[in-house]
């Protein structure tokens, strides 16, 4: 038979009700009329491929469709109890139309179960658990689909996935009874024939044809736009307005989740309920995210969108086995799921996932809120998060008692992870690196909490982060030069991180990590003030440490030395100092022993270095200058750090001349902020080539003695 492709603009990815309609159309057509039917999404629109065309699809639902038997006798509003509306349930139970026969039999079975338990009013909690067990034993397989989709029985009592509220109802709205009511709006129970208006509303539900439903009934959490309430129309408040077919097909679509509920719905060691593509809420990754939604939300569901046509058995298998894994563990929240999507840790054949959150809105009801769309694609940057996964898990478990600064840093980090999973760029990796640096700073400032909660510092990051975060910007290169710096003073090595974090290395090789130091130590300096102030503070402390170790020379180097071209930008205040400082703090977390080789400075047009910087830097070169090690003289930096450039230059000229390296300048008259910046720039390690270029710029010919330097090594400039 010929195959027909039928685009269904009324069945879309958003809102959730329309996505569920897509599942319902494929399921019902495949099970009741054409087993070979297939479906896919073209953009946001569901496309059905079947032996029946558009007219055949309309005829099927209007004349042949047999409603699924969904009942919830465990709920007070289900129609099974005298106290409450029972008309719809009775009408279907006593229906004469052939298409209602299976449904009527299931309702009678439910009534017999209640009678056998002597239950005639809404069951108590203890009665409910017993009733659920009895229903599972007595109901036919077709009726168990609804039970399995809406709840599961565990040793700790019934558990409820967020898709169907609390066991098939949302507050006072019982989904099954409303399903029965909407069926009565569409079909005649005596004959099974469609009622007037059923054809028009079906065309509206499937093909988005204009129709006046005239139905002001509740649809629950699935379609926020039709729920009514404040600002829902041109007036102050609007009524709910739904198409009866929307509700019917929406409930039919939820049954696709049934098999998965039986096979996978279980509590893990963190008490999280396993359900197809469902995780705990993560209040990050969308515009109106708020911290409170993490507590008030029922959770999140990530619904698969597939572009290749698939039959219902394939789709059913996708949902039955639908899971997302991060490494070897299941995803637990929205951030984990985003990581799983980005690292292809989900079932194959899916093109995208639409993320929904079940959030409390207007302080009244839960709505399935569309949050974001995530493409399934290889994302190498997202794999970097694996390095901090176990640490993040440990932090999450202890956040309830964390100070607000730590909680904020955690939220910003998770937001950065979510962004990285959606888009793998140097900017998103860099943003995560900056957030981790700020997270480390907040933990260091909250030592009482970290000690009590036993939270360790941010783990060492591999050298892959350095490559992935490199956007080619001058701020990144300068930050890397600082973060990768260190020096040997006496017989001890002092890495740059020692002045920022109260941590120390522990272990060797692959087991290398950092732990908190028992004492903060005099090496750590305050982060307060501007970047220039901070760097001057670190430089002064390193000089003190060097002299304290009994050395008379300055030793400093970096696995990623700075270039004169970049330093010129810093000296001229053309860099974004805030960004540079944030990157420096983040790059300190990198395990620089894992960085392959020394990163050469960026080549480019040569810059004539600032004369004052050149003069001072040769006194703090970190290596030999023309074969001579210049003795350390801390007073030079002290004067420069106080803004006295003239005096600093004078001392530097004396020190270099006395070392047999006569400068071509006698003095440099400069004071103020530019001198402070020049002093801060001394902390940036330079490579040997850059040091020699400074020497060529500012020094005359090398002399053999101080006396020679005094008489013939100077010239004015």
**pLDDT, tens digit (0-9, with 9 covering 90-100), for 85-100:** 899 999 999 999 999 9
Query: What percentage of the chain carries pLDDT values higher than 70?
Result: 88
**Domain boundary, last residue among 459, 484, 507:** 459
Please choose, from the candidates 164, 443, 438, 377, the residue with its C-alpha nearest in 3D space to the C-alpha of residue 278. Answer: 164
Structure tokens at 99: 């298409």
In a domain, 280, yes or no: yes
Average pLDDT, the chain: 87
Report the pLDDT averaged over residues 176-193. Answer: 96
Environment class of residue 207 by beta-carbon count within 10 Å: exposed (0-12), middle (13-18) or buried (19+)? Answer: middle
Asked if residue 606 and residue 516 are part of one domain, the reply reads yes
Shared-domain flag, residues 516 and 416: no
Overall domain count for the chain: 3
Provide the pLDDT for residue 633.
92
**Top mean-pLDDT range of 235-244, 332-341, 500-509, 515-524:** 332-341
Answer yes or no: is pLDDT of 386 > 80: yes
Three-state secondary-structure class, residue 658: helix
Pair 684, 592 in one domain: yes
- Quickly state the pLDDT bin for 717 (edges 50, 70, 90): very low
Q: What is the 8-class DSSP label of residue 97? A: S
- pLDDT value, residue 644: 95
User: What's the CA gap between 331 and 325, in Å, rounded?
Assistant: 5
| pLDDT tens, residue by residue, 276-306 | 898 888 888 765 555 555 556 788 999 999 9
Helix axes 564-571, 673-681, angle to 10 degrees: 150
Q: Which among 25, 35, 131 has a CA at the least distance from the CA of 76?
A: 131
Secondary structure of residue 583 in the 3-state scheme? helix
Domain assignment present for 637: yes
Tokens representing residue 494 in the block = 């002092």
On whether residue 205 sits in a domain, the answer given is no
Measure CA 678 to chain center.
40
Q: Is residue 649 part of a domain?
A: yes
Say if residues 618 and 656 touch (Cβ distance below 8 Å). Answer: yes
Q: In this predicted model, what pLDDT tens digit does every residue of 639-652 receive, in sequence order?
A: 999 999 999 999 99
Do 432 and 454 lie in one domain? The reply is yes
Average pLDDT over residues 122-146: 90
Report pLDDT digits (tens) over 454-467: 999 999 999 999 99
Is 399 found in the same domain as 368?
no
Residue 151: predicted pLDDT: 86
The answer to whether residue 28 is domain-embedded is: no
So what's the pLDDT on residue 172?
Answer: 80
**Within this chain, do residues 449 and 505 fall inside the same structural domain, yes or no?**
no
Calculate the alpha carbon distances from 367 to 133, 233, 593 in Å: 30, 18, 50
Q: Give the confidence band of 158 by pLDDT, cuts at 50, 70, 90.
A: confident
What average pLDDT score do residues 484-501 get?
86
Residues 433, 508, single domain; the answer is: no
More confident residue, 544 or 705: 544
Distance CA 150, CA 143 (A): 12
Query: Mean per-residue pLDDT for 23-43?
Result: 97
* Residue that is last in its domain, among 419, 437, 459: 459
Give the pLDDT confidence score for residue 233 in this predicted structure.
Answer: 45
Task: Tell me the average pLDDT across 199-225.
Answer: 81
How do strand 492-495 and strand 4-12 relate by DSSP bridges?
unpaired
Report whether 404 contacts 492 (CB < 8 A).
no
Q: CA of 650: how far to CAs of 290, 301, 642, in Å?
A: 58, 69, 14
Q: Is 192 a member of any domain?
A: no
Q: Do 428 and 364 belong together in one domain? A: no
Question: Residue 672 falls within a domain, yes or no?
Answer: yes
Q: What is the DSSP string of 2-70?
A: --EEEEEEEEESSSHHHHHHHHHHHHHHHHHT-TT-EEEEETTEEEEEESS-HHHHHHIIIII------
In a domain, 229, yes or no: no
In tens, the pLDDT along 593-629 reads 888 766 656 554 556 778 999 999 999 998 899 999 9
Q: Are residues 494 and 550 in the same domain?
A: yes
* DSSP notation for 196-257: TTHHHHHHHHHH------------GGG-GGGS-EETSSSSSEE-----HHHHHHHHHHHGGG
Q: Are residues 556 and 505 in the same domain?
A: yes
Note whether 280 and 331 are within 8 A (CB): no
Using N-to-C axis directions, what is the helix angle for 474-483 and 564-571, rounded to 10°? 100
Residue finishing a domain among 459, 484, 518: 459
Q: What's the Cα-to-Cα distance from 393 to each of 294, 335, 396, 439, 456, rounded to whole Å?
A: 16, 11, 5, 14, 12
Query: What is the structure's pLDDT at 265?
Result: 45
Closest CA to 349 of 380, 317, 381: 317
412 lies in the same domain as 269:
no
CA 538, 543, 546, 547 dihedral sign is negative
pLDDT of residue 267 exceeding 60, the answer is no
The structure tokens listed for 179 are 């399903």
Query: Are 650 and 550 found together in one domain?
Result: yes
Range of the domain at 536: 473-712
């Amino acid at each position: 038979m010929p195959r027909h492709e039928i685009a269904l603009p009324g069945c879309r990815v958003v809102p959730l009700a329309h996505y569920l309609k897509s599942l319902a159309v494929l399921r019902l057509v495949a099970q009741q009329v054409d087993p070979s039917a297939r479906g896919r999404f073209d953009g946001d629109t569901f496309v059905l491929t079947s032996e029946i065309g558009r007219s055949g699809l309309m005829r099927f639902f209007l004349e042949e469709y047999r409603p699924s038997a969904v009942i919830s006798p465990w709920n007070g509003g289900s129609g099974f109890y005298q106290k409450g509306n029972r008309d719809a349930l009775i009408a279907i139970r006593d229906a004469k139309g052939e298409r209602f026969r299976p449904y009527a039999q299931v309702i009678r079975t439910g009534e017999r179960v209640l009678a056998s338990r002597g239950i005639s009013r809404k069951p108590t909690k203890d009665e409910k658990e017993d009733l659920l067990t009895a229903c599972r034993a007595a109901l036919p397989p077709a009726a168990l689909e609804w039970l399995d989709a809406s709840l599961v029985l565990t040793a700790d009592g019934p558990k409820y996935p967020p898709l169907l509220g609390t066991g098939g109802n949302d507050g006072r709205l019982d989904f099954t009874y409303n399903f029965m009511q909407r069926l009565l709006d569409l079909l005649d129970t005596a004959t099974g024939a469609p009622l007037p208006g059923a054809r028009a509303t079906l065309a509206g539900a499937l093909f988005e044809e204009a129709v006046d439903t005239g139905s002001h009934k509740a649809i629950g959490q699935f379609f926020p736009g039709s729920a009514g309430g404040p600002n829902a129309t041109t007036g102050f408040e609007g009524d709910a307005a739904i198409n009866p077919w929307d509700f019917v097909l929406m409930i039919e679509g939820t049954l696709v989740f049934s098999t998965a509920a039986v096979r996978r719905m279980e509590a893990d060691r963190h008490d999280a309920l396993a359900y197809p593509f469902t995780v705990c809420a993560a209040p990050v990754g969308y515009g109106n995210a708020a911290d409170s939604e993490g507590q008030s939300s029922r959770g999140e569901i990530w619904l698969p969108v597939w572009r290749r046509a698939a039959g219902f058995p394939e789709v059913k298998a996708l949902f039955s086995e639908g899971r997302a894994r991060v490494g070897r563990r299941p995803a637990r929240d929205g951030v984990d799921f985003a990581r799983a999507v980005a690292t292809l840790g989900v079932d194959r054949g899916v093109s995208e996932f639409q993320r929904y959150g079940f959030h409390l809105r207007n302080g009244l009801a839960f709505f399935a809120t569309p949050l974001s769309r995530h493409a399934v694609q290889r994302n190498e940057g997202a794999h970097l998060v694996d390095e901090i996964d176990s640490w993040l898990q440990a932090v999450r478990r202890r956040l309830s008692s964390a100070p607000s600064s730590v909680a904020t840093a955690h939220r910003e980090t998770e937001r950065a992870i979510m962004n990285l999973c959606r888009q793998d760029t140097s900017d998103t990796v860099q943003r995560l690196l900056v957030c981790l640096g700020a997270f480390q700073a907040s933990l260091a400032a909250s030592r009482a909490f970290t000690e009590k909660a036993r939270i360790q510092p941010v783990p060492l990051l591999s050298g892959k982060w350095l490559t992935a975060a490199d956007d080619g910007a001058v701020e990144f290169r300068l930050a890397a030069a600082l973060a990768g710096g260190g020096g040997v003073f006496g017989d001890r090595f002092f890495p740059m991180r020692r002045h920022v974090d109260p941590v120390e290395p522990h272990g060797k090789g692959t087991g290398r990590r950092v732990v908190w130091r028992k004492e903060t130590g005099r090496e750590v300096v305050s982060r307060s003030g501007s970047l220039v102030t901070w760097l001057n503070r670190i430089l002064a402390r390193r000089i003190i440490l060097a002299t304290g170790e009994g050395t008379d020379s300055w030793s400093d180097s970096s696995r990623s030395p700075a270039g004169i071209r970049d330093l010129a930008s810093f000296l001229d205040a053309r860099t974004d100092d805030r960004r540079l400082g944030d990157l420096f703090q983040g790059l300190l977390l990198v395990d620089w022993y894992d960085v392959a080789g020394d990163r050469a400075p960026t080549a480019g047009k040569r810059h004539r270095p600032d004369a004052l910087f050149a003069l001072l830097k040769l006194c703090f070169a970190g290596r030999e200058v023309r074969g001579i090690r210049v003795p350390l003289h801390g007073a030079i930096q002290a004067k420069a750090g106080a803004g006295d450039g003239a005096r600093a230059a004078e001392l530097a000229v004396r020190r270099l001349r006395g070392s047999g390296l006569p400068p071509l300048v006698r003095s440099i008259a400069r004071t103020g902020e530019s001198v402070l910046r020049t002093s801060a720039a001394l902390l940036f390690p330079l490579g040997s080539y850059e040091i020699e270029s400074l020497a060529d710029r500012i020094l005359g010919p090398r002399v053999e003695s101080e006396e020679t330097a005094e008489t013939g090594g100077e010239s004015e400039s």
